[in-house]
């Protein structure tokens, strides 16, 4: 092997000397690169740094004192194993009671609404001044209140996130495209005024209620408490309660739908545009319990998605969006052969019904066409008569009424509804009609089914953490007048919202352990609440993910490849399931591998199922301590004590006078007996008192340290902190608050590092997985405040040892300046073992690079400061490859099924248009003419202000779309303390040494820098999109249907239904006046 002592003897002659010299020069790089890095020296550096930094962390955190104090109380502590099955059953019972309370409030509204309507007689000339939510408190230029805009007292209310509300009255919102004084609306508003006293009574009975409301079948929306509605930037309020999921779900039963779209030549131009919008509006009315397909027809049948020939798919958001994209590809030509399309539709519905996969309830065919030359009674006689269980809804597109009679006959003969859609302005109102037809059997049965929606975001009550996740409980309201019974008239739907965080308040987080959590799913397997649900993404500002409300449990608990857990919960089973999981923390960059035990059961009276996950080991145990109330209360009085605000120690929502109380204030009042109405968790409070007493001495310890801290000693330590399993925290500052390097740490906005409803702090969770007595060190990843990455956090766990049971009772730690931490490292790396003080190697040498990395491979110290926080594999790819090969680190593949990826924009069509002046000219003319026709024909506010071109421009700006990704995470192998190696590169050999820092999660890595080894690619952690390029794979994914549970009730048919009211041509002139009037007002006001 060549090296510095390579022999070169003169006796071999001049030629030998010359050859040797040339060979030495040629291999110079290799010679230098094979310089060995002494393992003993690196071990010395690691030991020196480890001893120094642990001494500082232990000293300033007070970890040894706190461990000692808990040990002193060990004899008074009872350690218990958590019974997961009993725990989940108890939690489900608590949630059941809470849900029942909400549904009873809604039931009282139903009874009041139906009684009020029964007593009311319709008056076409009724004049009634009601509080219009848009116009209240608005004045004209003379200072007089506008009509329907009387004074309406509003006051900020902390229960409604300090929004100005009126808790004595409700007010009424009417969609912009509807006339405020339409007789049907005025009459409905008048009789529903009686709901005010029920709204107030419900709120008095249950002060945790938030919005209560009545959505009328006529389109108006009565909301309590009353609130001012503000139009958007275009002066429009597009909200229509009738196309909200809670309304549709409560009004109708699940349904299978086939949509037939005429694409014959007569449908060209505006008619096809209206037809496409009609299909899109129908899709908006379909929910997760519905199934559908779309078939375009002329002389032939054209499935909009050819892959789904002859079947139906679930109407989830992903499938509906997929079909919408394909709608754009439809074009008109040829002759319409409706008989072929009807035969196909009936066969699909029949065949799919026999598979048992669909709704097994209502069935309908939606026909969208500009005419029918026949009534096709032979087809209906063959497939649908006499029972007429498949309803036919016909939509006549265009102004011509020549074929209206045939289409109306089809609808009337098959318990459906006929309507004519002449303009885009007509679409939504006319599509809504079919929902009220489908509601008839439910109305005649007088079945007030209680429905619950999946989770959705309510931006109105957004708090400091962003929008609030809700579920809605709703019930239909029926006409009980005898003369209308057979008509099955739906009056509307009442409902109330339930914040998901209300569910979390019923969960005793302290009993779930450090990594434990509770979660709930719907009958379709979608997540109602789960700590891994991420409904928002950030691009400039926080935005909702398009599919946030339909994230399946299998997409977060993805290790369960066979859906064992998911399917058991969907089927309302009670039981236990175990599996190894890979839980990501710290913004998904780190991974904890553990075994979870899952316990699950159903929540009766709802479509939801509840699960609890407990991690094995310390996560399965908790302990009970015992101290007197007097002792504990005394130690809670310290100003630096705080409790987890999102945990429910006391229920402060039950009485308005308690809402302003923090949890700590509530506990103190409860213990002092000053608030007898407060309901508190006695068991949790007892444990809080125990933790307060045991941890109290650390306050005096920290104070003593601060007082005795000299000017130069350990000046970089800024904060000490502790947290206990009951959510109690203590914090001590060693510098002034204004001098803190990381101003955000442990503040309310620092969600990762504080106790919240979902999880323990990050520093607590990571410390719990370290070897007892050792510290875990980390730096924040560079997001948010710029100076965050200038600190290092160190934490360690405190355990109670009782044979094999070792529950983690607390965690303590410090935060120090990164510069201080790095200085300690460089000082240690300058030490050497030789007596003469001459070091054979130093981190100051140009021939080596020294790094300090953590157990996940992230750099804490590097000579290049900009590499701080980077993944080591990106900087030293060759070395990381070798560490993985040697087993010092292992790669773990993770999956993100809630990711957002950059959309691949297809620019070829656009480029073609730009290059072809003829096409460009035609496109411009077409756009101008279309816009002009739409304006003149429709007089439609929303369409004018939100033109199709604007919508397309907006769509282009949305550069992120939902996708699935996979990405790696890396974890060090605990059993390997030190190793060294050589890497054979193209023209050199690269040596390195890695040495664990004692009592830590850190490693010192010293790398030979003279060999660049550029041929080895760096290892990145960048996520890779899981693409479905193969068309057959895409098709299989569309067809795949996970196990789901149908809603328990179905009202698809009733023999007494009177189907004579089956539609008619709209009064276009009246509609024009109603739409033209607000348009003119807007024009003159701009």
Per the rule left: phi > 0, alpha: psi between -120 and 50, beta: everything else, 890 is: beta
Burial 249-282 (b: 16+ CB within 10 A, else e): bbbbbbbbbbbbbbbbebbeebbbbbbbbbbebb
417 neighbors 411 (Cβ within 8 angstroms): yes
Whether the Cβ atoms of residue 92 and residue 610 lie closer than 8 Å to each other? yes
CATH number at 253-438+1036-1055: 3.40.50.410
Are 448 and 439 in contact by the 8 Å Cβ rule? The answer is no
User: Which DSSP string do the residues of 817-855 spell out, in sequence order?
Assistant: EHHHHHHHHHHHTT--S-TT---S--TTSTTEEEEEEET
pTM score of the predicted model: 0.88
Distance between CA atoms of residues 298 and 339, nearest Å: 10
Helix axes 629-636, 663-671, angle to 10 degrees: 150
CA 778 to chain centre: 27
pLDDT at 710: 61
Outline which parts of the chain fall under CATH 3.40.50.410. 253-438+1036-1055
Q: What is residue 837's predicted lDDT score, i.e. its pLDDT?
A: 64
Confidence (pLDDT) at 803: 54
Residue 997 is classified by DSSP as: P
Place of tokens 């002193």: 72
Q: Which of 943, 1068, 939, 1078 is CA-nearest to residue 180? A: 1078
Q: 1001 Cβ partners below 8 Å, 6+ apart?
A: 766, 770, 774, 775, 776, 777, 854, 855, 972
Residue among 775, 788, 810, 611 at smallest CA distance from 698: 810
Query: Could you give the CA distance from residue 746 to residue 780 in angstroms, rounded to a whole number?
Result: 13
Residue 829 confidence (pLDDT): 92
DSSP symbol at 68: H
What is the Cα–Cα distance from 969 to 872, expressed in whole angstroms?
12
- Under 8 Å between Cβ of 983 and 990: yes
Q: Is 980 helix (H, G, I), strand (E, B) or coil?
A: strand
List CB contacts of 472: < 8 A, sequence separation 6 or more: 245, 246, 452, 453, 456, 495, 496, 497, 498
Count of residues making up the chain: 1086
Peptide bond into 708 cis (omega under 30): no
- Mention every residue, 6+ apart, whose C-beta is less than 8 A from residue 174: 132, 134, 180, 185, 219, 220, 221
Q: Count the neighbouring beta carbons within 10 Å of the beta carbon of residue 794.
A: 27
SS3 305: coil
Which residue, among 57, 59, 63, has the nearest Cα to 799 in the 3D structure? 63
Residue 744 has φ and ψ, to the nearest 5°, of: -85, -20
- Judge contact between 262 and 275, C-beta under 8 A: yes
Cβ neighbours of 945 (radius 10 Å): 16
Question: Which residues make up the CATH 3.30.450 domain(s) of the chain?
Answer: 513-624, 845-899+965-1022
Pick the CATH number of 513-624 from 3.30.1660, 3.90.1530, 2.60.40, 3.30.450: 3.30.450
DSSP string, 198-260: HHHHHHHH-TT---EEEEETTS-EEEESEE-----TTS-----GGGSHHHHHHHS--EEEEEE
Q: Report d(CA 709, CA 516) in Å as an integer.
A: 39
- Fold for the domain defined by 845-899+965-1022: Beta-Lactamase (3.30.450)
Mean pLDDT, 10 residues at a time, over the chain (1086 residues)?
A: 39 40 38 67 95 96 95 87 96 96 98 96 94 93 90 93 95 91 96 98 95 96 96 84 94 97 96 97 95 97 95 93 92 95 98 92 97 95 94 95 91 96 92 93 92 90 72 96 80 96 90 95 97 89 89 96 96 97 93 96 97 92 89 90 93 86 93 88 95 96 86 80 97 93 91 92 96 94 57 94 74 97 94 72 91 97 94 97 96 96 55 34 45 44 38 52 94 90 92 96 96 92 83 77 90 83 58 41 40
End-to-end, the C-alpha distance of the chain in Å comes to 87
Q: What residues form DSSP beta bridges with 537? A: 543
């Amino acid at each position: 092997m060549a090296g510095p002592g390579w022999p070169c003897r003169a006796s071999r002659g001049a030629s030998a000397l010359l050859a040797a010299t040339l060979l030495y020069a040629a291999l110079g790089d290799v010679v230098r690169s094979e310089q060995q890095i002494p393992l003993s020296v690196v071990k010395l550096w690691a030991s020196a740094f480890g001893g120094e930094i642990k001494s500082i962390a232990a000293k300033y955190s007070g970890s040894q004192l706190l461990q000692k104090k808990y040990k002193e109380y060990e004899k008074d502590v009872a350690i218990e194993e958590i019974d997961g099955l009993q725990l989940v059953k108890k939690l489900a019972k608590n949630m059941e009671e809470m849900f029942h309370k909400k549904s009873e409030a809604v039931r009282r509204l139903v009874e009041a609404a139906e009684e009020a309507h029964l007593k009311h007689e319709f008056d076409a000339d009724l004049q009634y001044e009601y509080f219009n939510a848009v116009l209240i408190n608005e004045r004209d230029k003379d200072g007089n209140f506008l009509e329907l805009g009387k004074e309406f007292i509003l006051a900020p209310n902390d229960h409604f996130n300090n929004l100005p509300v009126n808790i004595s009255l409700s007010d009424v919102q009417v969609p912009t495209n509807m006339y405020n004084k339409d007789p049907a609306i005025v009459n409905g508003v008048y009789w529903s005024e009686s709901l005010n006293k029920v709204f107030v009574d419900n709120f008095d009975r249950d002060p945790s209620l938030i919005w209560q409301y009545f959505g009328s079948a006529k389109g108006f929306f009565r909301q309590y408490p009353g609130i001012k509605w503000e139009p958007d930037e275009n002066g429009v309020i597009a909200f229509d309660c009738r196309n909200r999921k809670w309304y549709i779900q409560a009004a109708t039963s699940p349904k299978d739908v086939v949509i037939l779209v005429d694409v014959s030549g007569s449908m060209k131009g505006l008619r096809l545009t209206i037809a496409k919008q009609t299909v899109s509006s129908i899709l908006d009315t379909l929910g997760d319990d519905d199934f559908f397909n779309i078939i375009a027809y002329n002389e032939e049948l054209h499935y909009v998605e050819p892959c789904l020939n002859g079947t139906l798919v679930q109407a989830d958001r992903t499938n509906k969006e997929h079909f919408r994209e394909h709608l754009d590809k439809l074009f008109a030509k040829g002759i319409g052969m409706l008989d072929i399309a009807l035969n196909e539709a009936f066969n699909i519905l029949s065949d799919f019904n026999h598979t048992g996969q669909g709704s097994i309830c209502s069935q309908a065919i939606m026909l969208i066409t500009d005419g029918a030359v026949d009534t096709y009674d032979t087809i209906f006689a063959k497939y649908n008569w006499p029972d007429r269980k498949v309803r036919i809804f016909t939509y006549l597109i265009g102004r011509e009424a020549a074929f209206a009679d045939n289409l109306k006959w089809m609808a009337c003969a098959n318990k459906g509804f006929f309507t004519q859609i002449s303009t885009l302005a007509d679409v939504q109102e006319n599509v809504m009609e079919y929902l009220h037809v489908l509601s008839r059997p439910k109305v005649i049965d007088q079945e007030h089914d209680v429905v619950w929606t999946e989770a959705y975001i309510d931006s109105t009550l957004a708090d400091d953490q962003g929008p609030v996740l809700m579920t809605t409980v709703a019930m239909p309201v029926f006409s009980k007048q005898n003369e209308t019974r057979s008509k099955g008239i739906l009056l509307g739907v009442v409902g109330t919202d339930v914040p998901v965080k209300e569910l979390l308040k019923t969960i005793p987080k302290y009993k779930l352990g450090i990594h434990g959590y509770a979660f709930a799913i719907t009958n379709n397997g979608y997540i109602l609440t789960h700590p891994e649900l991420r409904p928002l993404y950030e691009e400039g500002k926080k935005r909702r993910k398009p599919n946030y409300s339909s994230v399946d449990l299998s997409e977060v608990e993805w290790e369960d490849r066979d859906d064992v857990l998911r399917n058991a919960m969907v089927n309302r089973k009670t039981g236990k399931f175990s599996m190894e999981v890979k839980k990501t923390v710290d913004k998904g960059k780190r991974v904890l591998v553990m075994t979870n035990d899952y316990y699950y059961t159903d929540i009766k009276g709802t479509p939801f199922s509840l699960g609890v996950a407990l991690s094995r080991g310390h996560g399965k145990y908790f302990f009970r301590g015992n101290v007197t109330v007097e002792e504990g209360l005394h130690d809670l009085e310290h100003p630096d004590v705080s409790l987890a605000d999102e945990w429910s120690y006391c229920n402060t929502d039950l009485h308005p006078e308690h809402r302003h109380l923090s949890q700590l204030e509530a506990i103190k009042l409860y213990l002092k007996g000053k608030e007898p109405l407060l309901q508190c968790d006695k068991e949790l409070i007892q444990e809080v008192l125990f933790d307060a007493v045991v941890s109290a001495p650390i306050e005096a310890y920290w104070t003593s340290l601060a007082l005795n801290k000299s000017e130069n000693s350990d000046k970089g330590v800024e904060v000490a902190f502790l947290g206990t399993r009951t959510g109690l925290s203590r914090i001590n500052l060693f510098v002034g608050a204004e001098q803190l390097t990381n101003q955000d740490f442990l503040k309310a906005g620092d969600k990762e590092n504080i106790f919240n409803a979902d999880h323990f702090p990050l520093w607590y969770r990571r410390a719990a997985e370290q070897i007892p007595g050792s510290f875990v060190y980390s730096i924040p990843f560079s997001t948010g405040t710029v100076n965050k990455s200038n600190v290092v956090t160190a934490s360690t766990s405190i355990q109670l040892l009782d044979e094999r049971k070792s529950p983690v009772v607390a965690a303590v730690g410090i935060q120090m300046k990164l510069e201080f931490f790095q200085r300690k490292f460089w000082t240690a790396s300058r030490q050497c073992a030789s007596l003469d003080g001459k070091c054979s190697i130093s981190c100051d040498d140009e021939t080596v690079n020294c790094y300090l990395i953590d157990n996940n491979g992230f750099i804490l110290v590097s000579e290049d400061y900009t590499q701080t926080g980077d993944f080591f594999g990106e900087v030293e790819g060759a070395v990381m490859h070798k560490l993985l090969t040697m087993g010092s680190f292992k790669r773990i593949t993770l999956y993100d099924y809630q990711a957002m990826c950059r959309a691949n924009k297809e620019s070829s069509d656009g480029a073609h248009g730009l290059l072809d002046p003829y096409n460009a000219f035609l496109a411009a003319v077409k756009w101008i003419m279309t816009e002009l026709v739409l304006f003149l024909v429709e007089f439609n506010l929303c369409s004018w202000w939100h033109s199709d071109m604007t919508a397309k421009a907006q769509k282009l700006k949305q550069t992120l779309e939902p996708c699935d990704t996979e990405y790696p995470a890396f974890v060090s192998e605990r059993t390997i303390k030190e190793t060294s190696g050589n890497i054979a590169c193209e023209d050199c050999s690269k040596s390195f040494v890695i040495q664990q820092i004692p009592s830590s999660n850190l490693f010192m890595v010293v790398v030979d820098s003279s060999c660049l080894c550029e041929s080895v690619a760096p290892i990145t952690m960048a996520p890779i999109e899981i693409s479905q390029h193969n068309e057959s794979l895409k098709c299989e994914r569309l067809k795949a249907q996970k196990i789901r549970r149908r809603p328990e009730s179905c009202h698809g048919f009733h023999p007494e239904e009177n189907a004579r009211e089956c539609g008619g041509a709209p009064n276009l002139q009246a509609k024009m006046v109603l739409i033209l009037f607000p348009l003119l007002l807007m024009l003159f006001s701009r």
